[in-house]
Structure 1
């Protein structure tokens, strides 16, 4: 199984038109209530586990899982007992 490096993730995301790529590290048990962002995201979980809630649907995400959120999409996050790390590409331009 091929494991993607951060540099590969970053290169791919920038080639797809994303503006910036970051590594986000979350503390164990951290909860982020429903919120929005002024950007769209495409992310890859690389450590730990998290639960992402969009509307009435909650998904458990573990290493290797990906998620995407549209510009200003309401969502909430909850992180597992080990916390979590994901790489995230952000597209800051609001769609037309």
Structure 2
């Protein structure tokens, strides 16, 4: 998916204006939650998200979606990761 198309989807679904997040190579965050729903487009690198139900790896062009309060852990690839995220 392209950045412009993703921006239109976020707007249509009521997400706030997207911001770009970058994370360091081989970094991680242990299990945690956010008080907001998040939908993000991977711009570069790799991100692995683990929830209670599944573990999935996302790469450039792919979108992930987390509900508010959904426990998850994150692990970043050897080149780190950059993603465009909308929150609501």
The structure number with the bigger radius of gyration is 1
1:75 Cα shift?
Answer: 0.4
Alignment partner for residue 39 of structure 1, among 25, 36, 40?
36
Query: Does 1:69 pair with 2:74?
Result: no
Q: Which SS does the other structure have where 1:9 is aligned?
A: helix
Aligned to 1:29: 26
* TM-score for both structures, normalised by structure 2: 0.89
Residue 9 of structure 2 corresponds to which residue in structure 1?
12
Give the CA deviation at 1:56: 4.9
Instruction: Give the corresponding residue for 2:76.
Output: 79
Q: In 1, are the aligned partners of 2:45 and 2:77 still within 8 Å (CA)?
A: yes
* Post-superposition offset of 1:50: 1.3
SS of the residue aligned with 1:86?
Answer: strand
Q: CA RMSD in A?
A: 1.5
Deviation of the 1:64 alpha carbon: 1.3
User: Which residue of 2 is the match for residue 53 of structure 1?
Assistant: 50
The change in CA–CA distance for 1:55 and 1:10 in structure 2 (over 3 A counts) is same
Distance across 2 between alignment mates of 1:74 and 1:20: 24
